[in-house]
């Protein structure tokens, strides 16, 4: 899982300054969010589309600018339980966790889709997500 942890770690560097080691479990938490989604990354993207946020998530996949997302929108897509699980893993309150996810998830999805498209099913990302 080194590849994913490296990507998540780079995205996490933005928030470590203020919170120090408090967010050290966040990369594992993000990986768990992707694992929990039926269909992995593709399933997460579909969930954004289903919640009316397709343009936002599509911007993260495309080669252009990433559109921002709010903590409330993240909460609406992922649901309370997933946000609480991420918060526990990262050592954050659920409110702060939603904000951090809104900050980190666009970068991580962008890094996982470097060619402007979702990775093929059965590819490297799916292999990483299938390991526990």
89's CB contacts (< 8 A; 6+ apart) are: 25, 26, 28, 29, 32
Domain boundaries, the chain: 2-130
Which of the four pLDDT bands, split at 50, 70 and 90, describes residue 116? confident
> Which residue, chain included where needed, has tokens 């893993």?
89
The answer to whether the beta carbons of residues 98 and 83 sit under 8 Å apart is yes
CATH class of 2-130: mainly alpha
Torsion, CA 52, CA 57, CA 63, CA 68, rounded to 10: 100
d(CA 132, CA 127): 10
pLDDT digits over 5-33, tens only?
555 555 444 444 444 444 445 666 777 78
Whether this model's pTM surpasses 0.75: no
């Amino acid at each position: 899982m080194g590849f994913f942890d490296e990507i998540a770690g780079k995205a996490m560097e933005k928030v470590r300054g203020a919170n120090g080691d408090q967010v050290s479990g966040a990369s594992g938490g993000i990986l768990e969010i992707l694992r929990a989604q039926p269909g992995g990354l593709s399933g997460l993207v579909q969930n954004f589309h289903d919640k009316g946020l397709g343009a936002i998530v599509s911007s993260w996949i495309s080669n252009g600018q990433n559109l921002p997302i709010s903590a409330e929108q993240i909460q609406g897509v992922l649901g309370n339980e997933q946000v609480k699980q991420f918060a526990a893993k990262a050592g954050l309150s659920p409110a702060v966790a939603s904000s951090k996810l809104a900050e980190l998830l666009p970068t991580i999805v962008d890094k996982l889709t470097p060619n402007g498209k979702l990775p093929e099913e059965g590819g490297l990302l799916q292999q990483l997500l299938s390991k526990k």
